[in-house]
Structure 1
């Protein structure tokens, strides 16, 4: 019981530490640029990612994971080991779904 609590605490403290370090470093960099006279528009140079594109990415990922579960079940019935069949198919089809999402989103932004 104590081991699982310790592992959970270590995981969450590591995530917190990485996010905290990233945010404080970014803040220091921005303050240094502002002190040197940089324009504030420099911080807003990234592309906007619309909500529709995010939903499309999640939908295609879910379709890929669902197809991976389906094909994993088919491979399991044909004699493949359960863990290998499901995990490999889920990752492969999830990756294919994310690649399809990337290409569809790229075509949508070009139009």
Structure 2
């Protein structure tokens, strides 16, 4: 019982430590750039994804994984080893789903511009 609590505390404190270090370092870096006269627009130069694009990525990944599980089950019934069939099909079809999502997002970006 005590081991589970200790492991949980260690995991969450490690995650908190990494996030805190990342955010504080980023803040110090930005403050140093501003003090040296850098333009504040430098921080907003990254491309921002909309919530709809994130949902599209997640949906197509989930569809790909679901199809991968179905195809893996068919390969498993066909005589292929269970671990190989499911693992390979999940990764292959999940990757195909992400590729389709990439091309759809690129097409949507071109239509917006």
TM-score by length of 2: 0.84
Residue in structure 1 matched with residue 81 of structure 2 by the alignment? 81
Residue in structure 1 matched with residue 37 of structure 2 by the alignment? 37
Aligned ranges for residues 52-91 of structure 1 at < 5 Å?
52-91=52-91
Gaps of 5+ in 2: none
Cα drift, residue 95 of structure 1 = 1.1
Range with bigger deviation, 5-14 or 85-94: 5-14
CA-based RMSD of the aligned residues comes to 1.7
TM-score by length of 1: 0.86
How many equivalent residue pairs? Answer: 111
Gaps of 5+ in 1: none
Q: From the superposition, tell whether residues 104 and 19 of structure 1 become closer, same or farther in structure 2 (CA, over 3 Å).
A: same
CA offsets, 1:81-106, max 9 Å, x none? 22221122111111111111111101
